[in-house]
Structure 1
Amino acid sequence: MIYGYARVSTKEQNLETQLAQLESFKCDLIIEEKHTGSTMKRPKLETLLQELKAGDKLIITRVDRLGRNTQQLLSLVEELQDRDVTLYIIELGMEATHRNGKLFLTILSALAENERELLAEKRTAGIKNAREKGIKLGRKGKSKEQVEHAIDLWKQNDKTIKQIENATGVSKSILYREIHKRELKRELV
């Protein structure tokens, strides 16, 4: 039996291109999944892998549809090969479960993994550089005026924390932190 597997990482992405490619290979069954590839927890893929039998063929469009790192991918290819299941990758135009296919796949997967690591290093360096220049990252804090207004409302003792939060935009955690810092006490009415 010929199985196709199509996956995208987010619900906003669509599978149309992958499905069209898989349909052109006359797959008997195409499994669609919208789940991140950073982990192996992809329920539909796991179910498919359990159902594959000797002589079956699994077709994917690209290497990164099955795994995000070399070890994960090669482990899966090894498992398929041991079970006599052929893995065909459309993008490469080759069967990955044969000796030369595994070699090429190892190199390609290692390059992709290296690219992800380089991007992470660039991101970290960019953040460090921004901080060194005094650029503040993350969400903007509340202005002193907003916090003072929230404290004034709290002192009036006629509004709940939720009402103060809604009126000023100052979160209850910021308000409580400021109350504690100033050692304020509310008068009981």
Structure 2
Amino acid sequence: MKYGYIRPIVSDQQCTHQLKELFIDTLFIETHGLARKRTELEHLLMTVQKNDELFIQNIVVLADSQQQLLDILRLAERDQITIHFVDEQITNQTIQKASLLQSATFFANLQSKFLSQSSTFTLQAAKQQGKSIGRPRKSDDNLQLAFEMYDSKIYTLYDIKEATGISKSTLYRYLDDRSTSLYDEKE
């Protein structure tokens, strides 16, 4: 049997480009791109049998980490299942035949793809729940005090940081924003 598995990924959040040109007997579709609760993947792994083939658009669709990929590859080897990774143009058998340098390079690149996938969908889920994303803004009172101290030319950046808790780089970023908005008002 030929099985397919698709799920939302950063480059294809609607799953419209995955496995389009392949004939698949049964397609398992995950509804979310998060690492947790991948019920369709679990169902798929319980369904496949010896000599079945599994088609995945790319490795990031199948696994969220190198450890998860390793676990799935071990399962596939034990059950004698061939996994085809379409974008990478490899199978679980060809991965095993690569040189150490090729493998190290491949897995280093893969790690950054895993991180991108995970952080993108985690941030999207947090935004949907109304959670604030990113570093909180400094209070307006602290910022105003930092501006006054800076403009007075009496205080060092260290003095400003000690008094307001605003670091040099943060202060300069706010000063750039302030000068940009003053420039915009003059036009």
User: Which interval holds the TM-score relative to the shorter structure?
Assistant: 0.5 to 0.7
Partner of 1:64: 60
Long gaps (5+) in structure 2: 120-133, 139-165, 175-187
Q: Pick the structure with greater CA Rg.
A: 1
Kept after mapping to 1: 8 A contact 2:9/2:15: no
Deviation at 1:127, TM superposition (A): 5.1
Cα distance in 2 for residues equivalent to 1:63 and 1:102: 19
Kept after mapping to 2: 8 A contact 1:8/1:36: yes
Counterparts of 1:34-113 in structure 2, within 5 Å, are 34-39=31-36, 41-98=37-94, 99-100=96-97, 107-113=105-111
TM-score if structure 1 supplies the norm length?
A: 0.54
Partner of 1:6: 6
Q: Equivalent of 1:32, from 12, 19, 29?
A: 29
RMSD (Å) for aligned C-alpha atoms:
3.5
Kept after mapping to 1: 8 A contact 2:54/2:81: yes
Query: Match of 1:69, as an amino acid?
Result: S
Cα distance in 1 for residues equivalent to 2:34 and 2:103: 17
Kept after mapping to 2: 8 A contact 1:67/1:73: yes
Change (3 A) 1:90 1:83: same
Partner of 2:142: none
Kept after mapping to 1: 8 A contact 2:82/2:93: yes
Change (3 A) 1:108 1:101: same
Cα distance in 1 for residues equivalent to 2:103 and 2:56: 13
Kept after mapping to 2: 8 A contact 1:7/1:15: yes
Kept after mapping to 1: 8 A contact 2:3/2:53: yes
User: How many correspondences in the alignment?
Assistant: 124
Deviation at 1:110, TM superposition (A): 3.3
Query: Match of 1:94, as an amino acid?
Result: I
Query: Match of 2:16, as an amino acid?
Result: E
Long gaps (5+) in structure 1: 121-125, 137-189
CA deviations 1:94-129 (Å, max 9, x no partner) are 212342269766643432324638xx8xxxxx959x
SS at match of 2:17: helix
Cα distance in 1 for residues equivalent to 2:38 and 2:89: 25
Identity of aligned residues (%): 24
CA deviations 1:65-91 (Å, max 9, x no partner) are 011211111111111111000000000
**Higher RCO, 1 vs 2 (CA within 8 Å, ≥6 residues apart):** 2
Cα distance in 2 for residues equivalent to 1:102 and 1:74: 17
Query: Match of 2:108, as an amino acid?
Result: A
Query: Match of 2:73, as an amino acid?
Result: V
